[in-house]
Amino acid sequence: MPTVIYKFIKGEYISNILDNGNFRITTLRDCRNVERYGEEVGDKEEGTLTTEEIDIEHKGGDVHTGRELEKLGIATGPGLNHPDTEITLNNCRVIQEHPNCFMLCLSKKNTRNIGNRLGQNYCIQITDLDAFIETITKCIKELHNIELVLKGPIAYSSRSRKFGNETPSHPAFLKEKKHEYQNEYRIIWITKNKDIEPALITHLNIYH
């Protein structure tokens, strides 16, 4: 995990953050709104993974098939391994969407190029990422039941894979190569309630 991380901000919001400690946490669903944020910030396929060329000829007893189906979100039961069970899938495609969650998009680098392309020309340096995440997590917990907190760098790769190939990254940490210049580091908060909207964290002591 990086020791220093950066958050790019539009100029219209910087004083509200520095003077009042108001910090907006977005959601995965909100980040799909390309019409609102543009194609550099918004991404209509955020959190998705497409599996192509699914061809299965299954006969009972093949444990490998069950594991592959579960990766696609297809529920299987004990009957799958019955000797008389047969499953045939030909040239199918499955698109999986990660459930809505709170999300904070940061960058591992502070460069003018990143800010300009994002349309966010102010940058906040975060020198203690663990403490920052802990503070945000406590604030979210006051509003929602958090099930899991995940953090890590974004993997820049295709969101499409052939059936049977390993997924390059968790779908919520996967973006197309065209966004690689962002050097993104992401934190997501998975809550029990998935019907959530972006949250405004108020009176955050960012100088602590």
Name, in order, each residue with C-beta under 8 angstroms of 11's C-beta and a sequence gap of 6 or more: 121, 122
- Count of all residues that appear for the chain in the document: 208
Residues 17, 204: Cα–Cα separation, whole Å? 8
pTM of this prediction? Answer: 0.83
For residue 167, count other CB atoms closer than 10 A to its CB. 15
Bridge partners (DSSP) listed for residue 87: 58
Tens-of-pLDDT digits for all 208 residues of the chain?
777 899 999 988 888 888 888 889 999 999 999 999 999 999 999 999 888 877 777 666 566 676 777 777 776 666 666 667 777 777 788 888 899 999 999 999 999 999 999 999 999 999 999 999 999 999 999 989 999 999 999 999 988 888 777 776 788 999 999 999 999 999 999 999 999 999 988 877 655 5
Give me the phi and psi of 98, to 5 degrees please. -65, 135
Beta partners for residue 107, in sequence order: 6, 184
Residue located via tokens 């006969």: 59
Q: If you search the block for the tokens 């396929």, which residue do you land on? A: 45
Instruction: Give burial (CB, 10 Å; 0-12/13-18/19+) of 91.
Output: exposed
